[in-house]
Amino acid sequence: MVDAPTAGSEENAADAFLQGGPSLRNASGPYFGSYGGRWMPESLIAALDEVQDTFEKAKADPDFIAELKDLNKNYSGRPSLLTEAKRFSAHAGGARIFLKREDLNHTGSHKINNVLGQALLAKRMGKTRVIAETGAGQHGVASATAAALLGLECVVYMGAEDCRRQALNVARMQLLGATVVPVTNGSQTLKDAINDALRDWVSNVEDTHYLLGTAAGAHPFPAMVRYFHEVIGEEARSQILEQTGKLPDAICACIGGGSNAIGLFHAFLDDASVKIYGFEAGGEGVETGRHAAAISLGRPGVLHGARSYLMQDEDGQTIESHSISAGLDYPSVGPEHSYLADIGRVTYEAVTDTEAMDAFSLLCRTEGIIPAIESSHALAGAIKIGHRLTEGKDDPSEVTVIVNLSGRGDKDVETAAAWFNMLDEEGHVKGTTLSTRKPKGPSERASGASADENEDQN
């Protein structure tokens, strides 16, 4: 798993492109090569034009830039840190691994960067209501947060299955004043939540902005969402120069729709010496068919307004994706990633659930940081890249790699506890009942059933 035999040729193609080609930064859409566009109902075209127009004007308005900068600094807590993961690095062939700490942002992930930008645009457009889709709940929580801050009504669409698995995040959104609508159509996951959000938007477009949570969808969303996340890469680039005096050898991020990744990648796209890697969710293994690796195994198609790599069957029906990470459980990917894959500038690989969870555990134990399971895919990828790039090097510590730690793992504790077999048959964390209530000794730990009833009384 450590060596990818095709990596060398792809990287050469990327170098050739970079030496002769134009800048890859600031691609404005609607097309990224043959990807992107606006495959949308006519009813929504006027709204997309309004968003695009408002966004273009805002970008050129110093007041807007200042307002966003102030929120990023004094509300989200930017700049986020760049932390060297010294003990973790020993497991990545000795390459120096640096973590871009988006987990330290307010609400616990990179998602806040985009929602603050879009919520400000919604205000500028005179909209009073925002709607959003969410998988694990991170984007929903961020949207509810921004809506509360700016006084907007907020409705979040979430697959019914995801609502059940992430009940705590549903409660967080409700505490923040949002309405959460469980989606019972189709596969009841993220893609169906987007379908229902689009149906809401087409019906309420007059007073409503659709706060799309990833760098996908119809123009201008891919370029706009990227713009609001570009701060990740800009900070990381100057921080790594400050800490090591040079550009990194490689940068890594996880890919669902790809917003955290494009935000990190953008600043480095024109740095020919920097290898760029995106890690898709390989689920139970790409050979099992139960995965979410749209670029690695999909083929171009149209979903949710953009042409991009898509998991689809022979009839063009969307195939349900699978991943332990709800945030990566999406059958397509942002169109700019499809383009960067085709031209070879970014290498996309799949990381399985098992590899991601091993990396999750490793970061917890070596660095004292509980990462989101999404971000753990990037960590698992970084371990592979670290080994690959240090091979044959006398001093592996000359190799530096940045990993986007896109979110914190508090939301994933239950999933992780189940994965690592930490739960008893009742779903309680093993040992908690006896050790907290009846700390008599290890011999009683095995027989928990009767003690449980007493415990709930305490």
Please report how close the Cβ of residue 335 comes to another protein at its closest, in angstroms.
13
Residue 304 binds to another protein (criterion: CB under 8 A): yes
Residue 79 binds to another protein (criterion: CB under 8 A): no
Q: DSSP letters of 222-256?
A: HHHHHHHHHHHHHHHHHHHHHHHSS--SEEEEEES
Residue 302 binds to another protein (criterion: CB under 8 A): yes
Q: DSSP letters of 19-34?
A: HHSPP-TT--SSEETT
Interacting span for another protein (CB under 8 A) from 95-103, 104-112, 270-278, 302-310: 302-310
Residue 45 binds to another protein (criterion: CB under 8 A): yes
Q: How many Å is the maximal CA-CA distance in the chain? A: 72
Please report how close the Cβ of residue 424 comes to another protein at its closest, in angstroms.
37
Please report how close the Cβ of residue 320 comes to another protein at its closest, in angstroms.
9
> CB-hemisphere CA count at 13 Å for 133?
28
Interacting span for another protein (CB under 8 A) from 252-260, 313-321, 368-376, 404-412: 313-321
Residue 440 a catalytic site member = no
Handedness of CA 145, 154, 214, 355 (dihedral sign): positive
Please report how close the Cβ of residue 393 comes to another protein at its closest, in angstroms.
46
Question: Which residue of the set 111, 127, 384, 411 is catalytic?
Answer: 111
Residue 75 binds to another protein (criterion: CB under 8 A): no
Region of 457 (left: φ > 0; alpha: ψ -120 to 50; beta: rest) is alpha
DSSP 303: E
Nearer to another protein, 50 or 67 (CB): 50
Tell me the sheet residues that pair with 97: 401
Nearest C-alpha neighbor of 346 from the set 232, 416, 410, 269: 269
Q: Which of 41, 126, 151, 289 binds another protein (CB under 8 A)?
A: 41
Distance, CA of 343 to CA of 297 (rounded, Å): 17
Distance, CA of 350 to CA of 286 (rounded, Å): 8
Residue 230 a catalytic site member = no
Distance, CA of 441 to CA of 458 (rounded, Å): 19
Please report how close the Cβ of residue 220 comes to another protein at its closest, in angstroms.
14
Helical segments of 251-306, H only: 259-265, 294-297
Site string for another protein, 177-216 (x = CB under 8 A): --------xx----xx--x--xx--xxxxx----------
Nearer to another protein, 283 or 305 (CB): 305
Residue 11 a catalytic site member = no
Nearer to another protein, 325 or 332 (CB): 332
Question: Which residue of the set 10, 102, 133, 367 is catalytic?
Answer: 133
Handedness of CA 404, 260, 7, 280 (dihedral sign): positive
Nearer to another protein, 257 or 396 (CB): 257
CB-based contacts of 455, cutoff 8 Å, min separation 6: 433, 436, 437
Dihedrals φ, ψ of 281, to 5°? -80, 115
Q: Which of 63, 242, 287, 315 binds another protein (CB under 8 A)?
A: 315
Nearer to another protein, 192 or 374 (CB): 192
Interacting span for another protein (CB under 8 A) from 282-290, 296-304, 413-421, 426-434: 296-304
Region of 198 (left: φ > 0; alpha: ψ -120 to 50; beta: rest) is alpha
Residue 135 binds to another protein (criterion: CB under 8 A): no
Q: State the residues that interact with another protein by CB under 8 A.
A: 37-47, 49, 185-186, 191-192, 195, 198-199, 202-206, 301-305, 310, 312, 314-318
User: What positions carry a catalytic annotation?
Assistant: 111, 133, 406
